Amino acid sequence: MKNKTPINFWGIGAQKAGTTWLYYNLSKTDGFLIPPVKEFHYFDRDIKYPSPNFLSETRVKDRITSLPFLIKAGKSILKSLLKGKFKNVGFFLKWYFSDYNDEWYKSLFAHYNGTKGEITPAYTMLSKEDISRMYAVAPNAKLVLMLRNPVDRAWSHFRHIKKRIKGFSLDDVEVKEILAFMQSEGQELRSDYARTIKNYTSVFPKEQLLIGFFDAIIDNPEQLLEEIINFLTDTQTVEKSSGIKNEDEDTLLNKVVNKSIELDCPPEVLALLKEKYHDMMLDLANQYGGYFNKWYYETYEKSSENKNMRLFPTIFTTSRK
């Protein structure tokens, strides 16, 4: 039974492709129990990954002497207490004051009923070895991979980082710095969709991986969310009682979440990205069609061999057009 499994699904990325939108909508969907932390970063906590490593200190005794750690933990627990969210209090006590291991990870979901999961975009970067660790924890878990035109994703990634700098503009940075970022390990791993799909489907059965598209959040958010919910709950239709609560529907489904600052991509950067991702986009377009075809045509003004232009909000990796 679902409720007896440690976890029912993982959102595995990609960054800047709609994962925050997915997190907030699933957390407001009846039957889904989503922990109060969006990005766990448990399986990518090794320092070999260019991602946040706040779980890298495995033992609680090595963390407890850190004042910033204690302040952060105290704020999370106090906020939950003030809001009367006592289940979240228990979650944060275990989150901050436990030794980290697979049993601890599974225990974070133990008191949640319904469809349980977590969403960490950095999981796109995982090696087969760490994906195998995920499989050992929950071999039947579903996987949702949200994707976006890799050229747009990479530029949004850069803008997302720079929005932390108040008043930032392109006058504050040299083009060579932007070019270096586009060729950095963290950016490249997050945009290498072919690698991510290959790594996950070499460990998990292909039918357990669903690809969703950032574009569909704009074009058809209701259908996108419905198809993801159907996939995660093994249902063909979503009853009204199982969907987004009415009072939240408009504000969540059509809301731009975690938006990057607006900046025009310099021509040199755009040229680099178009060259970097041409072959991958063409291969994905040839295999799957749909939005991959749209990306390829809009980016290069050329068509792939696959003539299927139907824009399905989601596709299965088992599909071949």
**Residue 242 pLDDT greater than 50, yes or no:** no
Q: How many residues in total does the chain contain?
A: 321
Residues of the chain with pLDDT > 70: what percent? 89
What's the 3-state SS for the chain?
CHHHCCCCEEECCCCCCCHHHHHHHHHCECCEECCCCCCCCCCCCCCCCCCCCCCCCCCHHHCCCCHHHHHHHHHHHHHHHHCCCHHHHHHHHHHHCCCCCHHHHHHCCCCCCCEEEEECHHHHHCCHHHHHHHHHHCCCCEEEEEECCHHHHHHHHHHHHHCCCCCCCHHHCCHHHHHHHHCCHHHHHHHCHHHHHHHHHCCCCHHHEEEEEHHHHHHCHHHHHHHHHHHHHCCCCCCHHHCECHHHHHHHHCCCCCCCCCCCCCHHHHHHHHHHHHHHHHHHHHHHCHHHHHHHHHHHCCCCCCCCCCCCCEEECCCCC
Ramachandran angles phi, psi of 165, nearest 5°? -95, 115
Instruction: Using alpha carbons, select from 315, 277, 310 the residue that is nearest to residue 296.
Output: 277
User: What is the rounded distance in angstroms from the CA atom of residue 81 to the CA atom of residue 88?
Assistant: 8
Give the β-pairing of 115-119 and 9-11: parallel
* Res 240: pLDDT: 37
pLDDT band at 153 (very low <50, low <70, confident <90, very high): very high
* Contact by Cβ (8 Å): 153, 272: no
Sign for the CA dihedral angle at 155, 254, 115, 99 comes to positive
| 24 close to 252: Cβ distance less than 8 angstroms | yes
pLDDT, tens digit, 9 for 90 and up, residues 119-131? 999 999 999 999 9
Burial class (CB in 10 A: 0-12, 13-18, 19+), 211: buried
292 and 303 in contact (C-beta within 8 Å)?
no
pLDDT for the residue 52? 77
Rounded Cα gap, residues 56 and 46, in angstroms: 6
**CB–CB of 280/194 below 8 Å?**
yes
As a whole-number percent, the residues of the chain with pLDDT over 90 amount to 73
Is residue 136 a contact partner of residue 105, using CB atoms and an 8 Å limit?
no
What per-residue confidence (pLDDT) applies to 256?
A: 62
Mean pLDDT in residue range 237-255: 51
On average, the pLDDT of the chain sits at 89
Question: What mean pLDDT comes out for the span 170-185?
Answer: 91
Q: What is the pTM of this model?
A: 0.90
User: In the sheet that 314-316 helps form, which strands lie side by side, from edge to edge?
Assistant: 32-33, 115-119, 9-11, 142-147, 209-213, 314-316
What does the pLDDT look like over 214-230, one tens digit per residue? 999 999 999 999 999 99
Of 21-35, 82-96, 218-232, 233-247, least confident by mean pLDDT is 233-247
**Cβ neighbours, 10 Å, residue 32:** 20
